[in-house]
Amino acid sequence: MPDDTEISPAAKAILDVMNYRPAVDYDESHVRAREIVSLLLIIALSDIAIYRGEGFAGYAALTFGLPILLLIGVPTKRPKLSTWVLGLLLAGATARLAWCGSGLSLLSGLVVLFSFSMSLVGRTPYVLHAAVFASQTFAAGHHGLNHYWTSMARVKPSARVQNVFAVILPIVTVLCLERCSSSRILTLRKQSTLD
C-alpha cells in the first residue's frame, strides 16, 4: 500500500511549476518602457493576425512576431540552449503555417510558442510543465497587470490614469469600429454592384 506522502511524478511536476518564483520579484522590479511597448505591439499583432490574417498566414505572422516581441519585452531574460532550439522550431512552424497551414500545425506552433516563452524565463520546457505553464496564462496576466498598475502608481501617484483611459479608450473604440464598419459597407456596396 502506498504511503500518503508519496506523490506521482505528474503531480510533482505540476507542483514544481505552481511553486515557481521568478528571479526578480514583481513587487521589487520597475516596469520598463520596452515592456509596455512590447505588450502593446503583442496586442496589435494578435488583433491583426486574428482578425485580418486571411487564414493561416495571419497565424504564421503571429508565430513569427510573438517570439521576437517576447524576447524584447521580457524583463528577466535567461535564454538557454533550449530557447534557441525552440526558436528554430518556431521558424519551422511559421514556415509550415505560411506554406500549408492546418489546425494541427497551428496547435503545434502554439505549443512550441508556450515552450519558448517558458524557456525564455529560465524554465526547462518539459511537456507537462508547458501545459501547466500555458494553463496559468490568464492568472499570470492578471498578476502582471496589477504589477504594471502599481508601478505606474509609484512613478506618478498624483496622476489619474484611469480618468485618462476613461476618455481615450471610448474614443479609440468608436474610431476603430467606425473605420471597420465603413470599410465593410464599402465592400458590401462593391459586391452588390458586381451582382
pLDDT on residue 29: 64
Q: How many residues appear in the chain?
A: 195
pLDDT on residue 132: 81
pLDDT on residue 122: 80
Q: For residue 99, is pLDDT > 60?
A: yes
Rounded Cα distance, 131 and 123, in Å = 13
126 residue type, one letter: Y
pLDDT on residue 193: 64
Q: For residue 143, is pLDDT > 70?
A: yes
pLDDT top residue among 12 and 79: 79
pLDDT on residue 34: 82
Rounded Cα distance, 168 and 170, in Å = 6
* Average pLDDT over every residue of 95-116: 90
CB 125 within 8 A of CB 119: yes
Q: For residue 152, is pLDDT > 90?
A: no
69 residue type, one letter: L
The crossing angle, in degrees rounded to 10, of helices 81-100 and 56-73 is: 160
* Average pLDDT over every residue of 172-181: 70
pLDDT top residue among 32 and 97: 97
16-65: pLDDT as tens digits: 655 555 444 444 567 777 888 888 898 888 888 888 877 888 899 999 99
pLDDT on residue 89: 93
pLDDT on residue 186: 56
